[in-house]
Structure 1
Amino acid sequence: MTVDEWLDARPDAAPLADLVRRTAELDEAVKWNRLTFTANGDWHHWVCAVAATGTAVYLVFHKGSLLADPAGLLTGDGKYTRQVPAAQALAAPGDVAGLVRDALAHQTDP
């Protein structure tokens, strides 16, 4: 599935994708049924992804547990990944841009 096809099927995810695109120039592709963003083609260490379920859309950070989150947007308790619900992300674009930049800085951290 192409990025355009994925977004056509999930139009509610487009604003989050646009927010990530405005923040950093990243590679993007549909991976793991998500619109996934990475730098330098390093899909093993992806930066973030837009995930859409039947009822919700989230911005997911691969190394979210390593990120500074002064606004307290990140949720989740997995070893690494954290997410921000779309409504919260879109209400705080500056804070989300900071998270994306921080995620990019931590892309290859263990």
Structure 2
Amino acid sequence: MTTHPGQIDVWLDHLPADRRDEAVQLADQVRAAAPELDEAIKWNRLTFTAGGDWHHWVCAVAATKRAVSLSFHKGSLLDDPDGLLTGDGQYLRGVSHARAHAEPAAVAALVRQAVARQKDMLPG
């Protein structure tokens, strides 16, 4: 696993305190579900991938001044029985911090599924 703790700390330090706590909580949920993932700041997000494959990243913690969410690169391909994922792009789907915090088991299942489907593509 490759991590860049200094880079991650700098990213976190730029967030308002309440957003920082939420970002750390989401990152910890991802790490608990899939400790083998690599992590780095990519595209101004705390991004997670498997096998160093940043082209097919798995998920990312995105933070603004107003909200923190967990984005899944191939979210449209994931089975989401709890209805956590939102979005309507071809692939990208997200989960708000509030929903992720309230339903950690469902988020863990989504993370594990996203790892397994990392390189899947829509039929086309």
TM range (shorter): over 0.9
- 1:6 is matched with 11
- Give RMSD over aligned pairs: 1.0
Instruction: Find the aligned partners of 2:9 and 2:65 in 1 and give their Cα distance.
Output: 19
Amino acid across the alignment from 1:70: P
Q: Deviations over 1:14-57 (max 9, x none)?
A: 10001101111210000000000000000000000000112010
- TM normalised by structure 1 equals 0.96
Report SS of the residue matched to 2:110: helix
Q: Give the whole-Å Cα distance in 1 for the aligned partners of 2:99 and 2:48.
A: 20
Pairing partner for 2:97 from 75, 83, 86: 86
Poorly superposed stretches of 4+, deviation over 4 Å = none
Distance 1:24 1:60 in 2: 15
Q: Percent identity?
A: 65
1:43 alignment partner, SS class: coil
Letter in 1 for 2:50: A
Residues 35-82 of structure 1, C-alpha deviations (whole Å, 9 max, x = no match): 000000000000000001120100000000000000000000000000
Please, what TM-score do these two structures have when normalized by structure 2? 0.86
Report the counterpart of residue 3 of structure 2 in structure 1: none
